Amino acid sequence: AQTVTQSQPEMSVQEAETVTLSCTYDTSESNYYLFWYKQPPSRQMILVIRQEAYKQQNATENRFSVNFQKAAKSFSLKISDSQLGDTAMYFCAFPPGTSGSRLTFGEGTQLTVNP
Amino acid sequence: GAVVSQHPSWVICKSGTSVKIECRSLDFQATTMFWYRQFPKQSLMLMATSNEGSKATYEQGVEKDKFLINHASLTLSTLTVTSAHPEDSSFYICSATTGVKGYTFGSGTRLTVV
């Protein structure tokens, strides 16, 4: 079975500091994509970053970067220079199986950025 | 970028009535759409997967006669909650994909059944 685990239900960080959110997953596939989504209080799901499993280089999007460890099946999200607008629920997700298959989500991590 | 428009954003209905939620892909053709339900402070729970022109595939435990899904075209999928009851009150989100690289979400619908 394909599973995604986020072991940190809640985290907090001071504005301008760095925080890392953890995610582990399990799959028998060799090639797949991994995603981090954020859901702010508006509840709109927003793509933060995407990683292709066959690429060794970690994905980066401005202040957001990932630490992808394929052998360990780990996919953590690092947020640098945290901003108040980063306060949101963060979900790790991946589409196991074939192209276009449904996303499997982790339980989520509620991140609060404090001023 | 790909946009999915979901309406209504919130709805209040009386117990026993039906409610329809629409999701439209505005600038792309969505071959597959997903419908999720989300309770407060919880993750998204997949209810069903719909492909254009075919019957939806429901997840185990989801009542297909209560949650009717129609994907009549490549740009429109609808979820109808029939004979709604207070326990159906929740946040419903649709998502569309044209392949594994792209998943776009609607803005969600908050349903309250009174």
- The string of pLDDT tens digits covering residues A14-47 is 999 999 999 999 988 888 889 999 999 999 999 9
Chain A residues in contact with B97 by the CB 8 A cut-off are: 100
A61-83 pLDDT per residue, tens: 999 999 999 999 999 999 999 99
Q: Does B28 touch chain A (CB under 8 A)?
A: no
Mean pLDDT of B76-87: 96
pLDDT at A99: 53
Query: Are B108 and A95 inside 8 Å of each other by CB?
Result: no
pLDDT bin (cut points 50, 70, 90) of residue B21 is very high
User: Is the pLDDT assigned to residue B99 strictly greater than 70?
Assistant: no
Find the range with the poorest average confidence among A17-26, A32-41, B80-89, B98-107. Answer: B98-107
Q: Is B69 at the interface with chain A, CB within 8 A? A: no
Higher pLDDT, A100 or B43: B43
B21 or B29, which is more confident: B21
Structure confidence at residue B30 (pLDDT): 84
Find out whether B67 and B80 touch, Cβ atoms under 8 Å.
yes
Q: How many residue pairs from chains A and B have C-beta atoms closer than 8 A?
A: 51
d(CA A114, CA B8): 33
Compare CB distances from B107 to A32, A44, A98 and report the shortest one's residue: A44
Calpha distance A6→A113 (Å, rounded): 19
Distance CA A82, CA A14 (A): 7
> Does A105 sit within 8 Å of B44, measured CB to CB?
yes
With 0-12 / 13-18 / 19 or more C-beta atoms within 10 angstroms meaning exposed / middle / buried, residue A79 is buried
Confidence of residue B98 (pLDDT cuts 50, 70, 90): low
Q: Is the pLDDT confidence value at A106 over 90?
A: yes
A35 touches chain B (CB under 8 A): yes
Using the beta-carbon criterion (under 8 Å), do B101 and A105 form an inter-chain contact? no
Q: What's chain B's average pLDDT? A: 92
Summarize the confidence of residues B69-84 as an average pLDDT: 93
Contacting residues of A for B41, CB less than 8 Å apart: 89, 108, 110
Nearest to B100 among A37, A91, A95 (CB): A95
Residues of A in contact with B32 (CB under 8 A): 100
Whether the per-residue pLDDT at B6 is higher than 90: the answer is yes
Which of A42, A98, A103 is facing B103, going by the closest CB pair? A103
Which residues of B fall within a CB distance of 8 Å from A108?
41-43
pLDDT value at residue A97:
61
User: Residue A83: its pLDDT value, please?
Assistant: 98
Q: Has residue A96 got a pLDDT over 80?
A: no
DSSP string, A7-56: --SEEEEETT--EEE--EEE-S-SS-EEEEEEE-TT---EEEEEEETT--
- Residue B93 with chain A: CB contacts under 8 Å: 43, 45
The per-residue pLDDT for A101 is 79
Q: Is the pLDDT of residue B101 over 80?
A: no
